[in-house]
Every structure is written in C-alpha cells, then in structure tokens.
Homo-oligomer: A and B are copies of this chain.
Amino acid sequence: MMEKQEGYNAAVFADRIPKSLQENAVDCVILGYDEGELKVLLLKWKYEDIWSLPGGYIKITEDLDAAAYRVLQERTGLTSIFLEQFKTFGAALRQTKKYPVDYAKISRILDKIPLKNKECNLKWITKRFLTTGYFALVNLEAANPTPGFLSERCEWVSINAVPQLLMDHNVILKTALEYLKKQLNYLPIGKSLLPEKFTMQDLQKLYEVIIDQPLVRSNFQRKILKLGILDRQEKLMTGASNKAPYLYSFNTEKYDEVVKKGIGFSF
C-alpha cells in the first residue's frame, strides 16, 4: 500500500498518529467579499510551498457540524455564522495517483515540527480518508485570519487567483462555488457577506461575482425588493456627482423566513 517517493518512506508517518482522533476530516471553503471580489480563506504551510483549505480532524466525541464550526472559529475567530455542509469527498485516490501528495515536502515540514502535539493527526498522509466539505459566507472585515500550527499564513485569496492546492482541495473549492451558484436561485444570500448597511449596487455586484455574469440593474432591484427581505435606510451621500443611493439592511426576520420557504419556481 505504501510506496516510497523521492526517497522518503511514507510509512514512517504511521507511527506518529495518535489513535484518539477520528479518521475523518472537514474542509471549509470560507468565502468573503471584498473590493468587488469573492475571496477564499487559504492556508500557506510552514517551510514549504503548500497551500490548502482550512480543515481539521473530527474528534471522536464531536459532532460533524461542530468540527466545521471549530475550524471556522479557529481560523477566523468568527462564530455563529452561515455554515453549510455541501458534499463529502471520498475518491479512493484522494491522496495518491490523482492528487499526489509530495511526501518529500511533508517530510521536511515534519522534521521541523515535532509531532508531540496530540492535536495533529497525520494519518491522511498515509491513508485515504473522507473529508466533508463545508462552506461559510463571512464578513471579511470581521474575520481575523489566524494560521494553525502547520501553517505560517492564513490569507484571503481572490477566487480568480487560487494557486494549486493540496490534494483535491481545488476540486472541493470548485464544487463549493458551483453549489453556491445554484443556491442563489432559491435562497437569499448576502447577510453575512455584506456589511450591515449596503447599497443595491453592492448587492448586485455580489450576485454578479458569484454567478459570473452581468445582471440588468432595474430588474435585479425589482426582483430583490419583491422578496421583501430588505429594509430601506437613509441615503448614502458619497460625494459623487450623482443621485445618492439608498442604503439597505437585511430584515433578519423576513430573511430567515425566505431562507426557510425558498424562492422561485415550484410545482
């Protein structure tokens, strides 16, 4: 089962694995919205050029959802946020043929980070495991990106500039974005992506970034307003030489109601 790679014997890892942890993981696609761009929170590993989605093992006494919340909280400081499971990934070759793990790199990293830390279960290096993908939409301004013990940086990266990620993380990210695109047509979004108050243009741009195509302004406004999830606030004086737009905020009560009912077509 194990094979040598670049002179490194992966089986060495097997000894380092604490037995106390579950063999399953979660990976979080944490999306924020900033300067008209959709951004995803990524980790840059220590010492080597490895990037990955924030993830973690599920503790044996922990709910699956709780593990995802924990990862989100550890990497952003945020709690009680929109977080949704979207798919579990379990291709047999997650760590091998299809998405090769560079054992040499991992080896060099581990040589520098002794694994006395019980929180680190590196079974994924040597054995296929499942990971459940979650995605979160968060207020980028409120988040406080924090690297873990294997990573040296935790950064917002534009979804148009995502580097090659560890294992199948690029696929996980892509799947999350497609899922979000679909969700748009039967769920309101934006409550946690936008600041408290925002203009109609802000909201439209968010939608356009997600579905990756332009929308007709007047029709977008009409459709959104008809959902009844927005409260109109005062006008925003930008200093620009044009009519000042209204500010809006989400009406939490109605927003949640629409989330429950769903929008759009139904038989």
Residues of A at under 8 Å CB distance from B? 22-24, 58, 60-67, 85, 87-92, 127-130, 132, 182, 184-186, 207, 211, 215, 220, 223, 262-267
Contacts and interface: CB of A to CB of B under 8 A. Distances in A.
Nearest to A66: B92
Contacts of A63: 90-92
B90 A132 contact: yes
Top 6 closest pairs, chain A to chain B, by CB: A264-B265, A64-B90, A88-B88, A265-B265, A63-B92, A185-B266
A212 B144 CA distance: 46
How many chain copies? Answer: 2
Contact of A267 (B66, B127, B128, B223): B223
Contacts of A67: 90
Contact of A24 (B90, B92, B186): B90
Nearest to A264: B265
Contacts of A207: 267
Contacts of A60: 127-128
B266 A92 contact: no
Given A223-B267, A265-B264, A132 B88 contact: yes
A95 B128 CA distance: 24
Nearest to A89: B64
A27 B211 CA distance: 33
Nearest to A210: B267
Contacts of A262: 182, 185
A95 to B, nearest CB: 12
A128 B61 CA distance: 8
Contacts of A185: 186, 262, 264-267
Given A63-B91, A186-B265, 4 more contacts: A60-B128, A64-B88, A184-B267, A220-B267
Most buried by B among A91, A129, A267: A267
A128 B21 CA distance: 11
A118 to B, nearest CB: 17
A192 to B, nearest CB: 19
Nearest to A63: B92
Most buried by B among A65, A220, A264: A264
19 contacts: A22-B130, A23-B24, A58-B90, A61-B92, A62-B92, A65-B90, A85-B87, A88-B88, A90-B132, A130-B130, A182-B186, A184-B267, A185-B186, A185-B262, A185-B266, A185-B267, A220-B267, A263-B265, A264-B266
